[in-house]
């Protein structure tokens, strides 16, 4: 047989209709066997279904590829290729019901001259390395997934489909280095969270120009919600409003995808964007899902739009199960992502009839381990329907998933560990991965011989906490340590400790997670046990902001503007106007303390002391009146709350207001501290260093000693919580370099012509479990 020809028939992978063929004369079967495995015949029905597999005559007439083409899961000998093919008269997004099934032709070539044809519909030129006839089934919404093998390692290939009289755009992928290759370099990008309905996708064009080998997509490829409250931010005019074929009304307005038609619609609509098509045409994707491919903050087949149920007698809660919806989401993901995975419609398999966790090797340099952190995870430790100790009402998301008391999490987790001790999997009630996947992860990580072990990880491993005990003005309810996000690994601490302990016990080095989900850039060190007296570093976590989704900062800012959280707002954001208000509070407290008031919660006593000081001419009355002309522009303090000296920005704002004479309150407070220090030091006031005064302008510092304010999460080396963007990783034998690329804002519904606004670089040296950011 000519080595340039594929077998002109295809076979089905056991459990998933991914057709396959090989460029070698020694044929590889769809079951994934070695060279020489006989080709298996196509099944009589779709895997797990009673629907007969129809005949697929050659497509004739006019056809189109409205979602273009894509490739995924690059291996040393091939990849999975994808396309959606419909008659030219069909709608680009609606399903082409009644169009039937048919066969299209695939052509693959490594001829370098085809580089100029990338993204065009011009026919490939030069010698074809292979051709194949590939079936397209109406049952799968006219999508195809075709695994090609038998190609050369570390080689760029161009591919194109022909349907009747029409051709697809030309796509490209690069095969991985062979397992035994001692390669010196590898480049890839990682992205997540591309909400069609907010901000812009201009960054995808920039990403398409990067010098990378492939793209890792960490989930939230689509957002199941349309018109949700968190999508209220502006969106570029290039993205029209979405309209689900069916949908279910959200409690807060808008709708969420419910049916297979809904989920299919979202993937097809998202991939009509030419920028996303362009990226898929240029690079193979290695993709997993997160929550929004099914439902926000989901677990298994449970949604969290409502609080679910809670049994006070047992302390057990449960969110609403939506099994048909979960199955629909699974099928739509399988149909639309070019991933080499198993999938079956067999109802006996339930929601786990799809397995997306898998690993890929890139020579001796990198082992990429991709996990599924939604389909097997247990319920959040604290059910949303659990009653609040303050109100008796369900805690809801804030109290169960966000801003959760750390002591409560620890207590509940201990109880669940005790309850699960007799189960086959003792971590079953507190797990993200589930027992089988956890065992696979440990085995894969601890036996890998690659220099770098890179974990495609959906939700951050970094402890993101806040100590309310360090906030003088916090109400009693907030005088505790909090975990900011218990939907990520902070909410499943026991399993995190187990995984990190396995890495340390078995001496596994150079483990780095690439992470998405949280809509912010982070870089930090994952400790084996964050609560230990001596913290031991186990691995590094690098987190990318969302492509377009509203930022982590925006969500916390929205919560902080609610009256219940007013006392915590300086931890998230401030402004000149609000900084002056803090200065007035600090000035009032200082006067009251000097007058002998010990209870700073006694508002009447403080006001009396202030009035007396004014009458005595010690301070001007104007120092206690807000200045209406001060700026109310938002200043992000959330970043320093998470990994910096708390209150530094507030102190600098007050100091600037004093220096520029814009606020009588700020000038009075500054002068009071200056004079107090001068008296204590026995020097003229003008000789007191300004740095010593600014220290004491910090509302979280010791006003007497100027001792440094608290620093939360010292293991976090970088955070940019108000961002959209992507990240690029370059690997060598000496270091891993990750470049965070932050996008500029849109203006008037128009995406920026120069998308990248700023760049930060994180470096991880081989053999060192730490990260530096410049």
Mean pLDDT of 164-186: 97
Buried b / exposed e along 584-622 (16+ C-beta atoms within 10 A): bbbbbbbbbeeeebeeeeeeebbeebbeebbeeeebeee
Please check whether residue 290 is in contact with residue 517, taking contact to mean a CB–CB distance below 8 angstroms.
Answer: yes
Cα 390 off chain centre by: 32
How buried is 493 (Cβ within 10 angstroms: 0-12 exposed, 13-18 middle, 19+ buried)? buried
Query: What's the CA gap between 712 and 331, in Å, rounded?
Result: 42
Mean pLDDT of 8-32: 53
Residues in the chain: 774
How buried is 743 (Cβ within 10 angstroms: 0-12 exposed, 13-18 middle, 19+ buried)? buried
Token pair for 401: 């998933």
Query: What's the CA gap between 425 and 313, in Å, rounded?
Result: 24
What is the model's pLDDT at position 42?
79
Task: Answer yes or no: is pLDDT of 3 > 60.
Answer: no
What is the model's pLDDT at position 14?
42
The confidence band for 686, taking pLDDT boundaries of 50, 70 and 90, is very high
Query: What's the CA gap between 409 and 548, in Å, rounded?
Result: 31
Instruction: Determine how many CB atoms are found less than 10 A away from the CB of residue 541.
Output: 23
Determine how β-strand 248-249 pairs with β-strand 309-311.
unpaired
The confidence band for 24, taking pLDDT boundaries of 50, 70 and 90, is low
Task: Answer yes or no: is pLDDT of 63 > 60.
Answer: yes
Look up tokens 């991965």; give the residue. 433
Instruction: DSSP letter for 640, please.
Output: H
Query: What's the CA gap between 379 and 697, in Å, rounded?
Result: 44
What is the model's pLDDT at position 67?
98
Mean pLDDT of the chain: 93
Mean pLDDT of 519-547: 98
The confidence band for 377, taking pLDDT boundaries of 50, 70 and 90, is very high
For residue 280, what is the enclosing H or E element?
helix 274-282
Please check whether residue 23 is in contact with residue 7, taking contact to mean a CB–CB distance below 8 angstroms.
Answer: no
Task: Answer yes or no: is pLDDT of 2 > 90.
Answer: no
The confidence band for 6, taking pLDDT boundaries of 50, 70 and 90, is very low
Strand-pairing partners, residue 132, are: 106
Query: What's the CA gap between 732 and 187, in Å, rounded?
Result: 9
Angle between helix 493-505 and helix 406-420 axes, rounded to 10 deg: 70
Task: Answer yes or no: is pLDDT of 277 > 90.
Answer: yes
Report pLDDT digits (tens) over 739-757: 999 999 999 999 999 999 9
Determine how β-strand 635-636 pairs with β-strand 130-136.
unpaired
How buried is 132 (Cβ within 10 angstroms: 0-12 exposed, 13-18 middle, 19+ buried)? buried
Task: Answer yes or no: is pLDDT of 691 > 90.
Answer: yes
pTM of the model: 0.95
Q: At 236, give phi and psi (nearest 5°).
A: -60, 145
Mean pLDDT of 716-743: 98
Report pLDDT digits (tens) over 191-246: 999 999 999 999 999 999 999 999 999 999 999 999 999 898 799 999 999 999 99
The confidence band for 38, taking pLDDT boundaries of 50, 70 and 90, is very low
Report pLDDT digits (tens) over 75-95: 999 999 999 999 999 999 999
What is the model's pLDDT at position 15?
54
Token pair for 84: 């959606």
Query: What's the CA gap between 604 and 296, in Å, rounded?
Result: 46
Least confident interval from 155-164, 274-283, 521-530, 700-709? 700-709
3-state secondary structure 392-415: CCECCHHHHCEEEEHHHHHHHHHH
Report pLDDT digits (tens) over 247-258: 999 988 899 999
Report pLDDT digits (tens) over 535-559: 999 999 999 999 999 999 999 999 8
Task: Answer yes or no: is pLDDT of 4 > 50.
Answer: no
Look up tokens 């202030």; give the residue. 610
3-state secondary structure 79-97: EEEEEECEECCCCCCCCCC
Please check whether residue 107 is in contact with residue 160, taking contact to mean a CB–CB distance below 8 angstroms.
Answer: yes
Least confident interval from 260-264, 457-461, 561-565? 561-565
3-state secondary structure of 174: strand
How buried is 190 (Cβ within 10 angstroms: 0-12 exposed, 13-18 middle, 19+ buried)? buried
What is the model's pLDDT at position 638?
96
Task: Answer yes or no: is pLDDT of 23 > 90.
Answer: no
Task: Answer yes or no: is pLDDT of 764 > 70.
Answer: yes
Plot region of 308 (φ>0 → left; ψ -120 to 50 → alpha; else → beta): left
Query: What's the CA gap between 384 and 318, in Å, rounded?
Result: 8
Please check whether residue 521 is in contact with residue 760, taking contact to mean a CB–CB distance below 8 angstroms.
Answer: yes
Task: Answer yes or no: is pLDDT of 429 > 70.
Answer: yes
Task: Answer yes or no: is pLDDT of 709 > 90.
Answer: no
């Amino acid at each position: 047989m000519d080595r340039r020809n594929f077998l002109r028939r295809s076979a089905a992978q056991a459990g998933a209709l991914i057709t396959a063929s090989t460029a070698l004369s020694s044929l590889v079967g769809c079951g994934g066997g070695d060279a020489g495995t006989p080709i298996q015949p196509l099944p009589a029905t779709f895997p797990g279904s009673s629907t007969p597999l129809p005949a697929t005559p050659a497509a004739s007439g006019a056809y189109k590829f409205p979602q273009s083409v894509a490739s995924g899961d690059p291996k040393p000998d091939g990849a999975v290729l994808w396309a959606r093919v419909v008659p030219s008269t069909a709608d680009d997004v609606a399903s082409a019901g009644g169009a039937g099934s048919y066969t299209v032709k695939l052509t693959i070539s490594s001829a370098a001259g085809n580089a100029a044809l990338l993204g065009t519909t011009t026919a490939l030129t030069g010698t074809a390395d292979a051709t194949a006839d590939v079936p397209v089934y109406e049952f799968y919404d006219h999508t195809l997934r075709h695994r090609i093998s038998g190609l050369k390692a570390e080689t760029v290939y161009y591919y194109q489909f022909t349907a009747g009289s029409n051709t697809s755009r030309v796509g490209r992928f690069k095969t991985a280095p062979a397992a035994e290759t001692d390669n010196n370099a590898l480049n890839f990008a990682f992205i997540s969270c591309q909400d069609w309905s907010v901000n812009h996708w201009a960054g995808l064009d920039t990403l398409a120009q990067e010098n990378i080998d492939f793209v890792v997509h960490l989930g939230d490829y689509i957002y199941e919600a349309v018109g949700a409250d968190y999508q209220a931010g502006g969106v570029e005019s290039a993205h029209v409003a979405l309209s689900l074929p069916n949908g279910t009304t959200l409690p807060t307005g808008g709708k969420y995808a419910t049916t297979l038609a809904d989920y299919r619609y979202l993937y097809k609509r998202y991939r009509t964007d030419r920028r996303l098509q362009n990226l898929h045409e240029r690079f193979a994707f290695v993709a997993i899902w997160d929550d929004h491919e099914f439902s926000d903050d989901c677990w298994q087949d449970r949604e969290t739009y409502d609080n679910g149920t809670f049994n006070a007698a047992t302390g057990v809660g449960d969110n609403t199960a939506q099994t048909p919806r979960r199955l629909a989401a699974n099928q739509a993901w399988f149909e639309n992502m070019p991933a080499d995975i198993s999938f079956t419609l067999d109802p006996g398999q339930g929601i786990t009839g799809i397995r997306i966790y898998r690993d890929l090797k890139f020579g001796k340099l990198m082992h990429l381990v991709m996990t599924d952190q939604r389909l097997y995870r247990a319920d959040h430790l604290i059910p949303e329907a659990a009653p609040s100790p303050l109100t008796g009402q369900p805690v809801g998301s804030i109290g169960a998933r966000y801003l959760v008391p750390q002591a409560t999490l620890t207590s509940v987790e201990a109880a669940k560990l005790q309850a699960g001790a007799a189960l086959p999997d003792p971590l079953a009630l507190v797990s993200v991965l589930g027992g089988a996947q956890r065992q696979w992860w440990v085995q894969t990580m601890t036996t890998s011989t690659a220099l770098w072990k890179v974990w495609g990880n959906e939700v951050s491993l970094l402890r993101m906490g806040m100590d309310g005990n360090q906030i003088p003005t916090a109400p009693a309810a907030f005088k505790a340590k909090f975990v900011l996000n218990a939907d990520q690994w902070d909410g499943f601490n026991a399993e995190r400790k187990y995984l990190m302990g396995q890495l340390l016990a078995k001496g596994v080095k150079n483990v780095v997670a690439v992470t998405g989900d949280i809509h912010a850039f982070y870089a930090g060190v994952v400790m084996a046990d964050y609560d230990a007296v001596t913290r031991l570093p186990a691995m590094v976590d690098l987190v990318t902001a969302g492509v377009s989704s509203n930022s982590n900062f925006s969500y916390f800012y929205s919560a902080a503007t609610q009256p219940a959280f007013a006392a915590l707002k300086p931890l998230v954001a401030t402004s000149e106007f609000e900084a002056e208000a803090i200065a007035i509070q600090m000035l009032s407290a200082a006067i009251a303390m000097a007058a002998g008031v010990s209870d700073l919660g006694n508002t009447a006593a403080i006001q009396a002391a202030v009035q007396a000081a004014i009458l005595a001419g010690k301070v001007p009355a104007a120092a206690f009146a807000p200045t209406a002309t001060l700026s109310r522009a938002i200043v992000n303090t959330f970043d320093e709350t998470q990994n910096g000296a708390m209150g530094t920005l507030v102190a600098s704002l007050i100091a600037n207001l004093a220096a520029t004479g814009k606020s009588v309150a700020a000038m009075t407070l500054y002068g009071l501290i200056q004079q107090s220090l001068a008296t204590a030091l026995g020097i003229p006031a003008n000789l007191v260093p300004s740095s010593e005064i600014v220290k004491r302008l910090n509302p979280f510092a010791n006003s007497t000693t100027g001792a440094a304010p608290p620093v939360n999460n010292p293991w976090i080396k970088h955070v940019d919580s108000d961002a959209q963007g992507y990240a690029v990783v370059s690997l060598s034998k000496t270091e891993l370099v990750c470049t965070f690329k932050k996008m500029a804002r849109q203006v008037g519904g128009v995406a920026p012509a120069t998308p990248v606004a700023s760049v930060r670089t994180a470096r991880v040296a081989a053999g060192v479990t730490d990260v530096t950011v410049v």
